[in-house]
């Protein structure tokens, strides 16, 4: 394994193929548990654990698993690691376990995991698969933290429980409620594609038309 390829495997899913912002996978936890930074971050870490563990085993047994049952095998491995993670979190951090609710068990149905197994771990050696899934996990944690930071700062005036503003801060409650999840990620995506459009040279792209008005359709 060359060093550059290893770095590529690791960095690509963090930045250029970020699971949250680019691939748009694993949306359920991205919306559901991101009302505070601590919840979002711990969900990301838990998912990373399941991801790395299952990538290791799926990649290890990739030659002995027949092609017809590979999805079932991956799901079973992921389910086993999710059960482990479920028990770990319940034992080590009961408050976080209560806050995340059923969503730790729902890591099984997170498409990021099955996607990585299908696209990467089933075809490549163990070292590369572990690096790739570690990168994906970190990218996912980054995405969750970004979304939850917006929601917590605007919706509660705090960051990871620390009060940022004075006592007269009026929180935007909507960001703590379910619609806030959609809106926060939506604004992140709009902002990122705005930056991308700027980089491509669309100098006249402006943010305000979205907020204020819509241009008339050219006849």
**Under the rule (CB under 8 A), what is the footprint of other proteins?**
24-25, 27-28, 31-32, 72, 75-76, 79-80, 82-83, 86-87, 102, 105-106, 108-111, 114, 174, 177-183, 185-190, 192-194, 196-197, 202, 205-206, 209-210, 214-218
**Smaller CB distance to other proteins: residue 160 or 190?**
190
Least distance in Å: CB of 111 to other proteins? 5
User: Which of residues 5 and 16 has its CB atom nearest to other proteins in the complex?
Assistant: 16
Give 50 or 52: the residue with its C-beta nearer to other proteins.
Answer: 50
Structure tokens of 130?
């572990």
Closer by beta carbon to other proteins, 58 or else 131? 58
Q: At closest approach, how far in Å is the CB of 160 from other proteins?
A: 22
CA 88, chain centre distance (Å): 20
Q: How far is the CB of 146 from other proteins (least distance, A)?
A: 14
Contacts with 153 (C-beta within 8 Å, 6 or more apart), sequence order: 159, 164
Q: Smallest distance from the beta carbon of 52 to other proteins, in angstroms? A: 18
Shortest separation between residue 110's beta carbon and other proteins, angstroms: 7
In this structure, which long-range contacts are made by residues 5-14, counting pairs with CB atoms below 8 Å and at least 24 apart in sequence? 5/128, 6/127, 6/128, 6/131, 9/128, 9/131, 9/132, 9/135, 10/131, 10/132, 10/134, 10/135, 11/135, 12/132, 12/135, 13/132, 13/135, 13/136, 13/139, 14/135, 14/136, 14/138, 14/139, 14/142
The nearer residue to other proteins, 125 or 193, going by C-beta atoms, is 193
Separation between Cα atoms, residue 177 and residue 153, nearest integer Å:
13
């Amino acid at each position: 394994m060359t060093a550059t390829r290893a770095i590529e495997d690791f960095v690509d899913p963090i930045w250029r193929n970020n699971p949250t912002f680019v691939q748009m996978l694993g949306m359920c936890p991205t919306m559901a548990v991101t009302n505070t930074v601590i919840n979002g971050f711990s969900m990301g870490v838990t998912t990373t654990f399941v991801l790395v563990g299952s990538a290791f085993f799926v990649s290890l047994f990739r030659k002995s698993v027949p092609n017809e049952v590979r999805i079932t095998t991956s799901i079973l491995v992921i389910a086993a690691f999710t059960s482990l993670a479920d028990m770990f979190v319940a034992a080590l951090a009961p408050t976080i376990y209560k806050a995340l609710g059923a969503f730790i068990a729902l890591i099984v149905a997170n498409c990021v995991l099955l996607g990585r197994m299908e696209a990467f771990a089933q075809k490549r050696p163990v070292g590369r698969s572990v690096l790739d899934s570690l990168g994906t996990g970190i990218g996912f944690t980054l995405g969750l933290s970004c979304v939850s930071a917006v929601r917590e700062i605007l919706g509660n005036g705090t960051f990871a429980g620390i009060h940022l503003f004075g006592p007269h801060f009026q929180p935007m409650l909507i960001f703590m409620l379910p619609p806030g999840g959609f809106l926060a990620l939506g604004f992140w995506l709009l902002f990122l594609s705005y930056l991308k459009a700027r980089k491509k040279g669309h100098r006249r792209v402006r943010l305000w038309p979205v907020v204020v008005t819509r241009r008339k359709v050219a006849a």
